[in-house]
Amino acid sequence: MKRVLHICLCIIAGCCVFASWGMKKPRVATTSAADATMSEYFYMESEKQSILGNHEAAFALIQEAVRINPNSSEARYSLAKSFLKINRPDTALSLIRQVANSDTTHYWYNLAYANTAAHQNQYHETQMALERMARNHRDRPEIYESLAKVYQQLKEYDKALACYDSTEIYLGNSPQLAANRIELYDAMGDTTTAISIAENLAKDNPSDIYCLLYLNDVYRYYNRHSKRLEVLDNAARLVPDEPLVSIEKAHYYLQQGDTATFHAEYDNLFHNENIEYEVKHAVVNEYIREIAQWDNDSLILTVYDTFTNLYPYETTARKEYVQMLMYTEHYDDAIKQLNTLSEQTDAIEVWEQLVFAHMQLNLYDDAIIAGQKAIEKGSKNILTYLYMSNIYSIKELYETATEYINKALTVCDETKRAERSYLYGTLGDIYYQQNILDKCFQYYDTALIYNPNNSMVLNNYAYNLACNGGDLLKAEKMSATALKLEPENKTFIDTYAWIQFKMESYTLARIYIEQAIMLLTPDDDGANVYLEHYGDILAQSGEIDAAVEEWKKSYDLVPTEILKKKIEQKQYIEE
């Protein structure tokens, strides 16, 4: 209602004025038959190239057609469409204006003229075009409706009302016409008349539920809340199983601050056995999208739990429930739902999700069983193979871990270079854990061939070189590249600090390690490594007391013999 009106003429001709542009239009005869024939040839070739998606060629061809025969309405019409596509509406309007004025009775030309002018906010020109159409096409009520919108925009309200009266002669007092009149009276500031139109519409159609719901919308807009509830109660008596009525009543109570009744209305809807599951499922999704704005995850989970219990054999809602449980990290409950799904459906993704959920709870044996099921059923998801490999690496069964990565490489498309890079990088990590450095670096090199910007491989390669007496200049370059790709990654910052430490650039090393320490959170895995590195850098910088403090912090997290010696001897000890 109180908004800028979009002058939409798409009611006419199937909601798209320019859909008619591909239709043949009568052309004005030219003085030269040869030119007309040549122009027609270029026009047809333009249309062909446009269909093929060769828009630049089509544009050039239609321009040539107009150049050869400037009097061809059909070619100028098509050229105007081309100018709109390349965002030159002024030129398009100029062309279509010429075409429409050359044939003032042509319906499509003049409709396109009105529409193009309206989209450029040229409302007086739009008015002129539509008035001309109304004179020439008196039996087209949609013209009057569009013209009324223009009059409303120009604040010529009496003329707009007259247009709606003309429309009613042909179409009767339809709900859409009533809505248009209400919008007009709202623009005029006549609230009383606007409301009375909606009330009369409902009165004239007492058994039409949608007229009642429309009256409810009008009452809501004008804050007539007591009348609104009366209308909704009437609608509920008329059609007790209409979901829209329950939804509107729920929102009425929400607007009044009564959240308990808001939820109760939805709950009653979900328990109504006369409403089909598909309808309820759609309502559930809308309901959840609404309450998601309140950041109340527990309420969303309750809704899903209630709904899946009402329809225990409907897998779609249960899958959505699982996604929410995963998102909120309720992995135990997710596993229960996934186990139920695994009995109801043979879908591979259920087993893949089970692998992930079990991994989050460190239930490695259960994850292995789920992963084997997924792979047996033909899983192509490389994450499943990566999880399996990771589990066996944790168990120090490196040969099996390697086998799963190699299996992943067989299902991974050769064109997916980033994924293959990640897999080869993982192979490098597995061999590093076994201290087989030549194979480790060989697989890192292969990974970087597939993706030179694989930041994780660059970081790990650089760190492993630095820790094993490798080429420090090469390590520094790779680490810097990784850090440039992910400047806020504290692991990458720590790696760069450690390489500087190995190069005896202690001042620079300290700057970077302190950046990494600042990014640490209490539950960060590997925090002990950063703290130990910080201590080592401080020790080599001559600040031994401060170094001991950092070593102690690291030791409290993960006690090791080397840390114990550093603390006791108060000096850096190279491993």
pLDDT in tens, 480-514: 999 999 999 999 999 999 999 999 999 999 999 99
Is residue 392 in some structural domain? Answer: yes
Mean pLDDT confidence for 472-486: 96
pTM of the full structure: 0.69
| Long-range residue pairs from 87-94, CB within 8 A, at least 24 positions apart, any chain | 89/116, 89/119, 89/120, 90/120, 92/116, 93/117, 93/120, 93/122
Rounded Cα gap, residues 302 and 304, in angstroms:
5
Mean pLDDT confidence for 184-195: 93
Structure tokens at 207: 């058994």
- Name the residue range of residue 352's domain: 346-449
Answer for the pair 364, 393: CB distance below 8 angstroms, yes or no: no
Is residue 89 in some structural domain? Answer: no
- What confidence tier does 272 reach under pLDDT thresholds 50, 70, 90? very high
Mean pLDDT confidence for 564-574: 93
Instruction: Show Cβ contacts of residue 139 under 8 Å, excluding neighbours closer than 6 positions.
Output: 170
Structure tokens at 451: 């993706």
Q: Tell me the pLDDT tens digit for each residue of 305-345.
A: 999 999 999 999 999 999 999 999 999 999 999 999 999 99
Q: Tell me the pLDDT tens digit for each residue of 6-21.
A: 333 332 333 333 333 3
With a cut of 50, say whether residue 30 has pLDDT above it. Answer: no
Is residue 268 in some structural domain? Answer: no
- Of residues 30 and 314, more confidence is placed in 314
With a cut of 70, say whether residue 65 has pLDDT above it. Answer: yes
- What confidence tier does 522 reach under pLDDT thresholds 50, 70, 90? confident
Is residue 375 in some structural domain? Answer: yes
Is residue 337 in some structural domain? Answer: no
Is residue 37 in some structural domain? Answer: no
Compute, in degrees rounded to 10, the torsion defined by CA atoms 237, 241, 243, 249: 30
Is residue 390 in some structural domain? Answer: yes
Rounded Cα gap, residues 180 and 55, in angstroms:
39
Per the structure, the count of domains in the chain is: 1
- What confidence tier does 172 reach under pLDDT thresholds 50, 70, 90? confident
Give me the CATH number covering residue 433.
1.25.40.10
Is residue 97 in some structural domain? Answer: no
